[in-house]
Amino acid sequence: MSSRHGPPKHQNSFAWKPNAGVKINETEVGGKLRPYSEITGVCPRCKEQIDWKRRYGKYKALAEPAKCQRCSKRAVRQAYHNLCSGCAKEQGVCAKCRCRVERIVGRDSSEVEAEQKLLEEAVRNARERERRSLLRAMNKDKSKSSAKTPTNEEGKAGELFPAASLEEYAEQTRNDDGDENDDEEDEDEDLILKRGI
139 Cβ partners below 8 Å, 6+ apart?
Answer: none
Q: Are residues 26 and 97 in the same domain?
A: yes
* Count of structural domains within the chain: 2
Domain extent for 60:
21-106
Residues 3 and 56: their CA atoms lie apart, in Å, by 27
Tell me whether residue 131 is in a domain.
yes
Q: Are residues 59 and 87 in the same domain?
A: yes
Q: Are residues 144 and 171 in the same domain?
A: yes
Q: Are residues 125 and 73 in the same domain?
A: no
Among 106, 124, 152, the domain-final residue is 106
Q: Are residues 63 and 49 in the same domain?
A: yes
Report phi then psi at 105, rounded to 5.
-80, 140
Tell me whether residue 172 is in a domain.
yes
At 153 the pLDDT is: 43
Tell me whether residue 14 is in a domain.
no
The reply to whether the predicted model has a pTM over 0.85 is no
Per-residue pLDDT of the chain (197 residues), as tens digits, is 668 788 888 888 888 888 888 887 888 777 778 888 889 899 999 999 999 999 888 999 899 999 999 999 999 999 999 999 889 989 999 999 999 988 888 776 677 788 888 888 888 888 888 888 888 887 887 776 655 544 444 444 445 555 556 666 666 666 654 544 555 556 666 666 666 65
Nearest to 30 by CA among 61, 51, 52: 61
Tell me whether residue 157 is in a domain.
yes
42 Cβ partners below 8 Å, 6+ apart?
Answer: 50, 81, 94, 95, 96, 97, 104, 105, 106
At 156 the pLDDT is: 44
Q: Are residues 92 and 141 in the same domain?
A: no
> Contact at 8 Å (CB) between 114 and 167?
no
Residues 163 and 112: their CA atoms lie apart, in Å, by 20
Q: Are residues 101 and 115 in the same domain?
A: no
Q: Are residues 138 and 118 in the same domain?
A: yes
Q: Which residues pair with 100 in a beta bridge?
A: 93
